[in-house]
Structure 1
Amino acid sequence: MNKPVLTIVVPCFNEEDVLLETSSQLSNLLKNIIDDALISKESNIIFVDDGSKDRTWDIIETECEKSPFVKGLKLAKNVGHQNALIAGLETAAKQSDCVISIDADLQDDINVIPSFIEKYWEGFDIVYGVRGSRETDTVFKRTTALGFYRFMGKIGIKLVPNHADFRLMSKRALEELFKYQETNLFLRGLVPLVGFKSTNVYYDRKERFAGESKYPLKKMLAFAFDGITSFSVAPIRLVTLIGFLSMVFSLIAGGYALTQELLGHTASGWTSMIISIWFVGGLQLMGIGIIGEYIGKIYQEVKRRPRYSIEKDLYSVLSKEQLQKEAVLQQR
C-alpha cells in the first residue's frame, strides 16, 4: 500500500502572535511522521487566512518560502471559522489521501496526530480528537458545554462529546461530506452524518500558546444556536408546546374566574392581568423570533451564494509546479 499524502488544514484569523510557533511545531511533526514512513513526503500544511486584519497572511507567505511543507490559502474576506475550514478541506482534498483539521492556537495536542495516522492505516475513515477531560475549563464553561451535548442528544442531533474540529478524514469521507452543500455549516454535526467507520483518539487540551481566544461567550452561544437550528426544529416545537400549555392554563384560569363571578366573589385583578399579558406577549415575540431564524436560514440556503472566495492560492500553484517537475523527471 502506498504511503498516504496527508494535508493538515489550519484556519487562521488574526493569529500573528502564534502562527510562527504553530508553523514550526507542525512542520517538525510532519517531518518526523514522514521519517517514520507513515505518510508520503508530498504531505503538507495549508494555513487558511480567513480575512485577517493583522500580519497573518504576511507570515504565511514568508513560511511558504522558508518551509517545503507550508502552503497558504487567502480568502477574500472573513467568512467565519466553519467556512474557512471547509475552504481548506475542499482545496486539500484535490491532492490528498487524508486531511487533518486543527486550530492555529496550539490548544489541541499535535502529538496525537501520529495516532490519527495509525488509526487511518487500521482502516478508519474518520478519527475524532476528543478531550479526555475538561478540568482546565471554568466551572461555567464545563457545565454549559456538557449541558449542550446532552441537549443536542435529547433532540436527536448526534455529536461526539468534547470534540471540536480536530479530526482526520479520508479522501472518500471528505467527498461524501462535500455533498452536503448547505450554507449554514455546522461541521461537528455534519461529519457524523457521513457514516463511515470512525474512532476516537483522546488527549488533554492545553492553554492557548499566545494571543486571545476568537470564541468569546457571545460567539460560543451564537455557534451553539446555529448548530441547534441547523439540525433540528425542536425550538419551534418547544414554543408550540409552551403555547399549548399557556392556552390550557388560560382556560383553567378562565373557568375559575367565571366560577368566582357566579358565586359573587369578584375581585380586582389588574396586576395579574398585566403580568399575564406581558407573559403571553413575550412568548409570542420569542416564537416569532425563532421562526424568523429558520426563515432567515431558508433565505440564505435558497440564494445559493458561494461560501467563500479565494484571493490567493499558494497551495494549488505550488502543487502544479511539483507535478510538472515530476512529469519532466519521468520523461527523462
Structure 2
Amino acid sequence: MSGSVLFDAPGPNAIRRSRIMSIVFAVAAVAAVALAVYQLWLGGAFYQDRWDIFSDERLWFGARGLLFGLGTTLSIAGIAAVGAIVLGVVFSILRNAYSRWVRIPTTVVLEFFRGMPVLLMMLFILIVFASGAYWAVVWALIVYNGAIIGEALRAGMASLPKGQRESGLAIGLTPLRTTLEIELPQAFRIMLPIILAQLIVLLKDTSLGYIVGSEEMLRIGRQLVDFYDREGGPYALSMFFVMLAIYLAVNLSLSAIVRWLHKRVSRPRKGGPNLDGTKTEAIPVSTTAIRAQRTADTDGPPQPPGAGGTLGG
C-alpha cells in the first residue's frame, strides 16, 4: 500500500480501530442529543404555550421587535467590517514601512489591540469617550478586527517573492506605490479566506454589545422575554432557540457567500487581453519584454549584434 510523505498507509488493524472509534463516537453523539431533547421535553420546551408569543406581530415588527434588533446587529457588523478592512490596510502598510520609527510603534499598537479582549475595548471606549453603546461596539470591533486583518495582510505581503517588490522599484515606482499597486492586491487575494472568516467572527462578536447596552438582537430578545413574562420563566428558552436559529441562518448565508466569492476570485482568468493588449496566455515578464515584443511585431524578428554589417566597417 502506498503511503504518504508524513505517515505510512494504515494497515488492516488501524483501519478496524478507526472504524470502531468512529462508531463509538457516533453513538455517543446520538445519545447526547437524545438526552438533551429528553431534558428539554421534561422542562416543557415543546409545549405549545411556550411558543404562542411568536404569533404576535409586535414581537417581530414592533418598535423594539426582533427584526429591529437584527437590523441593529447587521448595521453594526456592516460598518465595522468596512472600517476594519480600511484600518487593516493602513496597519499593513505602516507595519511594512522602511523606517523603524514607524514600524516599531505600529507593531506595539497592533500587539496591544490584538491582545486586548473585545469586551474590555467596548467598555473602555464607552467610558472614556462617552460614545454611546452603539458606537462603542462599532469602534471596538473596527480596532480589534482591523489589527487582525492588518497582520494577515502583512503576512500575505511577506509571503510574496522578493522579485515582486524589486520589479516595481525597477520601473520607477515609489515604495508606497509598489506596496499599493503590486504587493497589497496580491496579499489581499492570498489572505482573502482568512479575512472573510474574520468578518464572520466580527458578526458574531456583535452579541457582546448586550453587555454595554447596545440594542442588538440579543438584548432585544431579553427585553421581549421580560415584557411577555415579567418573571422571565416560560419564554426564555423558546426565545433562545429562535435567536439561535436567526444567528445560524445569517452566519450560514454569509459563509455560503464567502465560499462563492473565494471560489470566484480564485478562479484563473480565461481569455481576453491584458492591460497592455497582450493575450492572457502570453504575459510578458517585464516592460523590456513588452517593448521587445512590440518591436518584433512591427519590425520583424530582432537581429543579433553585428548581423546588419561587417565587423570593423
TM range (shorter): under 0.3
* TM-score, normalised with respect to structure 2: 0.25
More helix by share: 2
User: Could you say which structure has the greater relative contact order, defined with CA pairs below 8 angstroms and 6 or more residues apart?
Assistant: 1
Give the number of the structure whose alpha-carbon radius of gyration is greater: 2
More strand by share: 1
* TM-score, normalised with respect to structure 1: 0.24
